[in-house]
Amino acid sequence: MTDSSFTPQSPALVLGGSRGMGAAIVRRLAAEGRPVAFTYAASPGPAAAVVAQVEAAGGQALAIAADSADAQAVRAAVEAAVSRFGKLGVLVVNAGVLASGTIDQFPMDTFDRMLAVNVRGVFAAIHHAAPHLADGGRVVVIGSNTAERIGGPGSSVYAMTKAAVAQLARGAALDFAPRRITVNTVQPGPIATDMTADLMDYITPRLPLGRIGEAGEVAGLVAWLAGPDAGYMTGANLTIDGGWSA
C-alpha cells in the first residue's frame, strides 16, 4: 500500500549524481519517467553531460552545484529541486568521499571532511528533504559493504562513516514509518567507477563472482527500492558486492 501522493513518476533528487554510480542512478530514474534533480560538488562538465544524456533520451534533469559538507548548500539544493519539479517522491543520498589510511597516520582534516560529507551530509539531506517528500515516498542511502566487513587495513574511517549512516537510515525508517516513507541503505562493494580504477587488478581476483560490479547494477537496485514494488521494504541494509562479504 502506498500513499496516493506518491507515484512511479514522482520527482527524484539524487545527492551526488554527476559521476559513477550517482550518474547511473540519475539516468535510470529518469528512464523510468521521473524528473530528476541531482547535485555535484566539483564536476560541472560531467554534470552537464548527464543532463544532456537524460534530455536526449526524452527525460528531464536538473544539475545543482552543492557540496554535501555544507548543510545550507544541501538545503538550497532541495529547494531548487522542489521549485523546478515539485514535491519529491524519491531522495537518493549518494554523495560521499573516500580516503584510506591507518588510524595512526590518518590526517585529522581528512577525518573531519569524511564525517562532514559521509555522515553529516546524509543527515542534512534527509532532514532538509523531509518536509518536501510525498507521503509514501522513498529514501535510499548509498552506503558501503565496509559497514559489514572492512576487509583490510586502512579502511577504518571510511567503514565507520558507512556503518554510521546504515544505522541512521534504520532509525529514519522508524521515524518516517507513520508517513509510509521507506528508508533503505544500498551497500555496494567494488564497482567499476573512477574511484576504483587503480584497484581493479587487486580486487577482481578476490571477488567470488570473478568480476567487478557495474554502476548500472547498483542503479537497478536503487530503482527497485524507489518503485511501487518495494513499499513493504524499509529499514533494510542491502549489500550488493559480488559475494565479497559472504
- Catalytic center residues: 158
Environment class of 172 (CB within 10 Å of its CB; exposed 0-12, middle 13-18, buried 19+): buried
Strand order in the sheet with 88-93: 61-65, 36-40, 12-15, 88-93, 133-142, 182-188, 237-240
Q: Within 10 A of 133 (CB to CB), how many other CB atoms are there?
A: 25
Structural Rg of the chain based on CA atoms: 17
**Contact predicate 78/13, CB 8 Å:** yes
- Hey, what's the cell of 161? 562513516
Q: Within 10 A of 246 (CB to CB), how many other CB atoms are there?
A: 8
Q: How far apart are CA 65 and CA 78, in angstroms?
A: 11
